Amino acid sequence: MVSGQCDTRQAAATEVFENGDESIEAKETARLKSEIRATRPAASTSNTSEDHLMPIKESDIEKVAQLAHLELAPEELKVFGPQIVEIVSYVEQLNELDTTNVEPAIGGFTPEGAATNSERNDQLVPSLGQQTALAEAPDAAAGHFRVPKVL
Amino acid sequence: MSRETVEAAVSAAEKLNDTLNAFLFIDGEGAIKRAENSAGPLAGSPVAIKDNLCVIGMQTSCGSRILGDYHPPYNATVIQRLIDAGAIIIGKTNCDEFAMGSSNENSAFGPVSNPWDVTRVSGGSSGGSAAAVAAGIVPFALGSDTGGSVRQPASLCGVLGLKPTYGRNSRYGLVAFASSLDQVGVFARDVSDVARVLGVIAGRDPHDATTADTPVPNYLEYLTEDLKGLRIGFPPALFGKGLDEEVGKSVKDVVDVYRELGAEIVNIELPHAGYAIAVYYIIATAEASANLARFDGVRYGFRAEDAPELRQMYRKTREEGFGAEVKRRIMLGTYVLSAGYYDAYYRKAQQVRTLIKNDFLDAFKQCDAIITPTSPTPAFALGEKVDDPLAMYLNDIYTVTANLAGIPGLSVPCGLSSSRLPIGFQLLGPYWSEPTLLKLAHGYLEARPFTDRPPVRA
């Protein structure tokens, strides 16, 4: 049942990206499927909800690239798209677990989860200084980082 | 004396680099000069540093074109502590780009070869540091471990590799990949060197709020303690499918050695361990997508040409500056954090992370340490998994749990495969249990010394 869910997802993935090199993709998909099956733990609950399984489209990948300030070439989109779909479908095995009352592991500073004491005296300490801070800039001018026009 | 030692290390690093590609930068002249009058507990000891730790006067490329020959204006805290202890930094070692990889093949400056078989990977991401120690160029080296990047290459190269408890070492000056998982780690051939170096670099740092006040013991004092009565947890479920037979047998033999040495072996369960890779690749990529936003061609590093508009410049710079795996992970991280998906992926992963952590807390009620393989296979061939990101990620199946839970892990060599490739086992312990892990490694290596040396060596 679990791998069935996975297969559906991957079928959708290959459909979306079917304009790529099919033989390589088919081979890769087959290999990934077997790897996923081999490492996937047995489902601990029957709660394999399909709620999160929205297919990722090429336009989604483009949108993500835009958000990430990456200008991907069309060839890269073709390779990354299916790979990201495979990985996302792999990580969706987490939906098998019921985590209703589980606290997320966010916010603890020490390994034990206690906040570390980061207080310090309110004293001035030397900073890098303008010259050092600008020393590695690709384009520094008049004590500033110079960038291409914004508008 | 120390001058000769450093000279020998520098000349070995230079001589073997054509074969191994372990170093991205060697500061021969400077190192020899610094060796003239060094003092401290590590006086005159040559050391190699992964190229994602800041060292004044040397490049910090992170194995990436986007930083290239970036020269940081400050020393990482762990670096400053090594220097203050008299260690002599001879150069910067090759690594997967921004520490993202398990084979060192994601370096923009070419992969590192394994000294045991140059057609095979060194492991990653700290492959250069592992190879430099394995080949005998330096007695110890620093790396960083986000999901196994010290322990896995240590295992594949036949050396010791320690990832300390999260918060044991400062991350100040370590170029951030996934801040809640990253930790500076140590490679060495002798347990006593791991103990010595950890003792020097560990401890609270005002520049890193996640470092703990927990006292730093003299780790050397624990090494020779008796192992009698120590309880070692053995998770049978992790010795099943996907594990190379020789590796499995070898690690089970280690369990027998511990039994002979007087330790008690306790069967344990880590019910959520199978979900660790999924959790890891959500959290690590999410944090990476945020951390790597700083590389935009404005303040340092590479800037793309022919981009007359600002946003275009950002995109072109990142497109040309980052390699494929880094882009893939930034994309994944951006996706799992994007509007509408945060709860489904990131929050869910952080909840399962809690379950994984609780598994360990439960297990450590029954045992003092846990034994597992470090890597499911010995070193694989260069190029073998390069086009298959998910297969590559599965290399980290035994190591990522320690980063997710924040506990320490130590990889220890335990023999060679039939193709004469090193096999390693991993010891995991509760928070701050580095003394126990080092003692267990020392006890094992006293009983079964790992004396084989790789064909490519100084």
Quote ipTM for the complex: 0.88
- The angle subtended at Cα B440 by Cα B435 and Cα B442, nearest 5°, is 95
Tell me which residues of B are annotated as active site: 50, 125, 149
pLDDT value of position B404: 96
The pLDDT tens digits of the residues spanning A96-118 come to 999 999 999 875 556 666 666 67
Burial code (b: 16+ CB inside 10 Å, e: under 16) for B10-35 equals bebbeebbeebbbbbbbbbebbbebb
CATH no. for residue B111?
Answer: 3.90.1300.10
| pLDDT of residue A16 exceeding 50 | no
- Categorise residue B268: left if φ over 0, alpha if ψ from -120 to 50, beta otherwise: beta
Number of structural domains, chain B? 1
Min distance A6 CA to chain B CA atoms (Å):
14
Is B341 within a domain? no
In a domain, B411, yes or no: yes
In a domain, B287, yes or no: no
Domain assignment present for residue B267? The answer is yes
Q: Which amino acid is at A103?
A: E
B371 assigned to some structural domain: yes
Window 246-275 of B: residues touching A by CB (8 A cutoff) are 271-275
Q: Is B107 contained in some domain?
A: yes
Instruction: Tally Cβ neighbours within 10 Å of residue B317.
Output: 24
Domain that holds residue B50: 2-271+357-447
Residues on chain B touching A102 (C-beta within 8 angstroms): 351-352, 354-355
- Does residue A33 surpass a pLDDT of 50? no
Q: Which residue has the tokens 């801070």?
A: A133
pTM assigned to the model: 0.91
By the CB < 8 Å criterion, does A140 face chain B?
Answer: no
**What CA dihedral angle connects A65, A71, A77 and A79, to 10 degrees?**
-100
**Could you tell me which chain A residue has the CA closest to the CA of B351?**
A104
What is the rounded average pLDDT for all residues in chain A?
Answer: 70
CB < 8 Å from B in window 88-117 of A: 88, 90-95, 97, 99, 102-106, 109-112, 116-117
Kindly give the parts of chain B with pLDDT less than 70.
Answer: 1
Q: Which residues pair with B208 in a beta bridge?
A: B205
Model confidence at A2: pLDDT above 80: no
B208, part of any domain: yes
Encode pLDDT of B298-325 as tens digits. 999 999 999 999 999 999 999 999 999 9
pLDDT at position B1 is 55
Q: What is the largest CA-CA distance in chain A?
A: 64
How far apart are alpha carbons B170 and B261 in whole angstroms?
35
In a domain, B193, yes or no: yes
DSSP single-letter state for residue B143: E
What is residue A5's predicted lDDT score, i.e. its pLDDT? 36
DSSP string, B349-408: HHHHHHHHHHHHHHHTTT-SEEEEESSSSSPPBTTSSTT-HHHHHGGGTTTHHHHHHT--
Of A56, A95, A118, the CB nearest to B209: A118
